[in-house]
Amino acid sequence: MEIIGGQKIWTFAGDQPAAVNMTCGAIRNGAAHRVYSFMDLAKKVAELQFRNRDFVLMFRGQGGDYRNKAKASSIKSTLMRASSSTRVPREAQIRARFDHLARAERILVEEYRSRKLLGRERLERQQILRWAILQHYEICPTPLLDVTQSLRIAASFASLANPAEAFLFVLGIPHISGAITASAEAGLQVVRLASVCPPSAVRPHIQEGYLLGEYPDFSSAEQKLHYSHFEMDFARRLIAKFSFAPATFWEKSGNFPQVPEKALYPRDAHDPMCELADTLKQAVGDE
């Protein structure tokens, strides 16, 4: 994956009151910019989109600003995240995760066939579509990263992850066209979940969910191991990072309340794909 441009980009950094020019590396190494309400956040993101007009902005909410060995913000796919005891996953662990992913893909295709779900032909042909469903419904680790085009959804996820201190990351990606957008120049592909999951799947629409992946695909551990870990970090697309205290942030947000957990994760009759996900989790088992 390529770093987001060699040029400086506009961002809000640390305690700077106005937007400033910085490189992606400086943004990753710096402190998050504090915001105090949803409108405060929305206005600043609007300025970022206006100033960084070559990119589409995507958002990711997290409970922390996780740093790598170089003390830079790091945003990795679930498959490439380390265990609590190591900074990067070991080669054997990566191989085991790819084996687990391949098993989950086979079972997903079988379930799609048996249930005669819409889009099963595309699912059988395109691996990244299988990964997208497995990732979004948290069935097993994949090389993809969940993001959203909804600022409010991202801020709500961040608040669920950590009710004391939440972080929202703004990523710059190439312009989107169709269900899957691949950019050889950026080394990135974008999957629009609403165009991948069957119409019965409500969650991707509510979350305005997208998935980011490297381009071209890494379909096996052997391919993945040809790249350094720092190259497989989505923070290389970072434009800005914000922090906020959820309790006071939403209290001051007035007409823009936090999206509750039950709305973010609809179940039962509202999203039959959740039942499929539960079946897959049981069949696939743990890593």
Query: Is the Cα dihedral 190, 76, 29, 248 positive or negative?
Result: positive
Does the structure show a pLDDT above 50 at 85?
A: no
List the structure tokens of 276.
């499929």
- Which of the two residues, 222 and 36, has the higher pLDDT score? 36
Would 271 be classed as within a structural domain?
yes
Predicted pLDDT of residue 105: 97
* Residue range 212-228, pLDDT digits in tens: 999 877 665 555 554 55
Question: In whole angstroms, what is the distance from residue 76 CA to residue 139 CA?
Answer: 17
Is pLDDT at 84 greater than 60 in this prediction? no
The HSE-up count of residue 37 (CA atoms within 13 Å, CB side) is: 9
3 in any annotated domain: no
Q: List, in order, residues 6 or more apart from 278 with CB less than 8 Å away.
A: none
Domain annotation covers residue 37: yes
| pLDDT tens, position by position, 57-77 | 999 999 999 999 899 999 999
Q: Which structure tokens are listed for 239?
A: 């434009």
Q: Is residue 173 part of a domain?
A: yes
Mean confidence (pLDDT) of the chain: 89
Into how many domains does the chain fold?
Answer: 1
Question: pLDDT category, 201, cuts 50, 70, 90?
Answer: confident
Global pTM value: 0.91
In this predicted structure, what is the pLDDT of residue 37? 98
Instruction: Provide the domain limits for residue 279.
Output: 9-284
DSSP code, position 84:
T
pLDDT per residue over 143-160, tens digit each?
A: 999 999 999 999 999 999
Domain-embedded: residue 263: yes
Dist CA 134 CA 39 (whole Å): 34
Give the model's confidence band at 243: pLDDT under 50 very low, under 70 low, under 90 confident, else very high: very high
Confirm whether 4 is domain-assigned: no
Q: Give the rounded percent of residues in the chain with a pLDDT score beyond 90.
A: 67
* Residue 2 within a domain: no
Q: Does residue 1 lie in a domain region?
A: no
Residue 61's pLDDT is 98
